[in-house]
Structure 1
Amino acid sequence: MPGEKIYRAPLHRRLRPLFFLSPTLIILLSITFFPLLYSLYLASHTVILTNPMLEGWSLQDNLREVFLESPEYWDSFVTTLILVISVVAIEFVLGLMLAYFFFNSFRGRDLLFPFFLMPMMLTPVVVGTIWRFLFNGEFGLIAGLLKALGVVNYSILNEPSTALIGVVIADVWQWTPFMLLLLLAGMRALPQSPFEAAQVDGANSFQIFRDIMLPMMKPIIVIALLIRTIDAFNRMFDIIYIMTNGGPGRVTETLAVMAFRSSFEYFFMHQGAIIALSMLVLITIMTKLLSRFMNVQKGD
């Protein structure tokens, strides 16, 4: 009503939650804010570790050097997109199939389910090492199977035409369980009444899955795809560095590998900082899309 005063708590009461959160905020700022500022400094100056006398403000020159005069950046960008799109698409299809498989009740389901989650529990370095040995052309398990077919000393990681396939196989093996968990949780959260009504009307399992379950799962599917895309874009370093180190040549070099090489192998710190910041911008855009979609779903 007009004339009524809105009650506002005293300032010390409004700042009390911030006081209790301050230790965590200080730690988070210390490990994120300073590296971000230092990356901005590196990106705007010429910083070459083998020639420290070249330091100076050169933001425009650095941007032109990376984005306009370096075709390697766009090659790595395309490689990153190919890998991210490939692994996310395959993981989604396999995760959806496995989620529907475990959604149905059968004997031994609770005993079998943890084994499908085990790859996700491993670190990417361990996964990369495992698959590097499996793909080894001399003593790897896959090489042994190929020898039985008459193919000797062949490794898909050593061939430019197949190296990306090996990386995709390793990433899919590790992160398909993540999709499985998200999609299975979404399936189990659905109301059962539409499925029971469809069964009464004579619909078979495939029709129920296609016409009822998938449309109802659209929000969780979009969220799972966005989360996994952001995660895949950010994680395309560990497995590749262990398995191929960006090779053969530069076939499997992603933006993360290129940033690492520019900074710590070629010692052009300003180039590595610009590449890393460009990845940060892309991840921020994808995060904003995810946040906007979740807000729209919450409003609906």
Structure 2
Amino acid sequence: MSGEQVYRAPLHRRLRPLYFLSPTLLILLSVTLFPLIYSLYLATHTVILTNPMLSGWSLQDNLREVFLESPEYWESFATTLILVVTVVSIEFVLGLMLAYFFYNNFTGRDFIFPFFLMPMMLTPVVVGTIWRFLFNGEFGLIAGLLKAMGVVNYSILNEPSTALVGIIIADVWQWTPFMLLLMLAGMRALPTSPFEAAQVDGASRFQIFRDIMLPMMKPVIVIAVLIRMIDAFNRTFDTIYIMTNGGPGRVTETLAVMAFRSSFEYFFMHQGAIVALSMLVIIIIMTKVLGRFMAGPRED
């Protein structure tokens, strides 16, 4: 650099941040790396808790058992895909609409806004319990409204054709505030000069929202959808387990519920590990695809 010598800090000073981060890194590695390695071990061996003598290397047999000889996996995969795509799409649309509503100034906005965030603060177990009682066919609030219309003892969770709809309603109610929060933060972080220039040129509010605000919010939207899709693959287990336990039959059994049942109800630990690892692979693929979408087309 034109005769100037670049200054490099001593090694112990460059490693000093790592010293301070090392306790946190060790904790994170212990709670993530070890379960991952143990899951890989379970997936490559036949591990049945009721008969531990059957343990042995059998990766190919385990993969064939789960993916080829078990139609339940693909049914659970389809249920998971339908659930994730549906809830994320609805939550994104509702969250974007509510964010634009709260983006504008109006009387009482700061008072009303916290109430829209309250469902997100509840744990999934509590949310599942609330909606299970609401959907109860005998004494639930929704059942009472249906009785007033002449429908007696009807529970949406007991019908195979509508049980998944009940799960979707509960998930949308809880996690739409998450989308609202991210979308609103993204809107308020945008510069105001493009909007003011568009208003001077005579653009309507809808045109400003469609042609200026949405394109500028593309990175925020992709990150919000990505986080919510990853979360929906895992966090829906608690709500489903409390509301339906994967039933009636298997109509609401997702991959997370299947992994739990295989491991801790049927005691086939290797099957549960393979299902869980397949979810990890799916999440990695989704991350790559959405990352490519956010980066846009490459310029040659």
Tell me, yes or no, if the aligned pair for 1:133 and 1:140 is still in contact at 8 Å.
yes
Match of 2:194 in 1: 194
Matching residue's letter, 1:113: F
Specify whether residues 15 and 206 from structure 1 end up closer, same or farther in structure 2 by C-alpha distance, changes over 3 A only. Answer: closer
Match of 2:178 in 1: 178
Summarize deviations over 1:185-220 as a string: whole Å, max 9, x none. 111111112222222222222222222222222221
Superposed, 1:69-218 pairs within 5 Å as: 69-218=69-218
Matching residue's letter, 1:229: M
Matching residue's letter, 1:194: P
How many Å separate the matches in 1 of 2:58 and 2:29? 27
Q: Which runs of 5+ in 2 are unaligned?
A: none
Specify whether residues 151 and 53 from structure 1 end up closer, same or farther in structure 2 by C-alpha distance, changes over 3 A only. Answer: same
Specify whether residues 7 and 130 from structure 1 end up closer, same or farther in structure 2 by C-alpha distance, changes over 3 A only. Answer: same
Match of 1:255 in 2: 255
Tell me, yes or no, if the aligned pair for 1:80 and 1:236 is still in contact at 8 Å.
no
Matching residue's letter, 1:282: I
Tell me, yes or no, if the aligned pair for 2:99 and 2:183 is still in contact at 8 Å.
yes
Summarize deviations over 1:154-209 as a string: whole Å, max 9, x none. 01100000001000000000000000011111111111122222222222222222
Per mean C-alpha deviation after superposition, the further-off stretch among 235-244 and 248-257 is 235-244
1:235 deviates by 1.5
Specify whether residues 7 and 209 from structure 1 end up closer, same or farther in structure 2 by C-alpha distance, changes over 3 A only. Answer: closer
With normalisation by structure 1, the TM-score equals 0.93
Specify whether residues 106 and 45 from structure 1 end up closer, same or farther in structure 2 by C-alpha distance, changes over 3 A only. Answer: same
How many Å separate the matches in 2 of 1:294 and 1:136? 43
Specify whether residues 209 and 15 from structure 1 end up closer, same or farther in structure 2 by C-alpha distance, changes over 3 A only. Answer: closer
1:32 deviates by 1.5
Q: Tell me the secondary structure at the aligned position of residue 45 of structure 1.
A: coil
Specify whether residues 15 and 290 from structure 1 end up closer, same or farther in structure 2 by C-alpha distance, changes over 3 A only. Answer: farther
How many Å separate the matches in 2 of 1:17 and 1:187? 34
Q: Tell me the secondary structure at the aligned position of residue 251 of structure 1.
A: coil
Specify whether residues 111 and 45 from structure 1 end up closer, same or farther in structure 2 by C-alpha distance, changes over 3 A only. Answer: same
Per mean C-alpha deviation after superposition, the further-off stretch among 42-51 and 79-88 is 42-51
Superposed, 1:217-236 pairs within 5 Å as: 217-236=217-236
Q: Tell me the secondary structure at the aligned position of residue 137 of structure 2.
A: coil
Specify whether residues 261 and 228 from structure 1 end up closer, same or farther in structure 2 by C-alpha distance, changes over 3 A only. Answer: same
How many Å separate the matches in 1 of 2:193 and 2:176? 29
How many Å separate the matches in 1 of 2:17 and 2:114? 39
Match of 1:16 in 2: 16
How many Å separate the matches in 2 of 1:164 and 1:292? 31
Percent of pairs with identical residues? 86
Summarize deviations over 1:132-163 as a string: whole Å, max 9, x none. 00000000000000000100000110000000
Superposed, 1:233-248 pairs within 5 Å as: 233-248=233-248
Q: Tell me the secondary structure at the aligned position of residue 151 of structure 1.
A: coil
Tell me, yes or no, if the aligned pair for 2:156 and 2:163 is still in contact at 8 Å.
yes
Q: Tell me the secondary structure at the aligned position of residue 232 of structure 1.
A: helix
Per mean C-alpha deviation after superposition, the further-off stretch among 230-239 and 10-19 is 10-19
Q: Which runs of 5+ in 1 are unaligned?
A: none
Tell me, yes or no, if the aligned pair for 1:95 and 1:176 is still in contact at 8 Å.
yes
Match of 1:48 in 2: 48
What is the alpha-carbon root mean square deviation over aligned residues?
Answer: 2.1
Q: Tell me the secondary structure at the aligned position of residue 239 of structure 2.
A: helix
Tell me, yes or no, if the aligned pair for 2:124 and 2:236 is still in contact at 8 Å.
no
How many Å separate the matches in 1 of 2:291 and 2:203? 36
Match of 1:60 in 2: 60
How many Å separate the matches in 2 of 1:128 and 1:167? 9
Per mean C-alpha deviation after superposition, the further-off stretch among 213-222 and 122-131 is 213-222
How many Å separate the matches in 2 of 1:197 and 1:164? 46
Tell me, yes or no, if the aligned pair for 2:127 and 2:170 is still in contact at 8 Å.
yes
The count of aligned residue pairs is 298
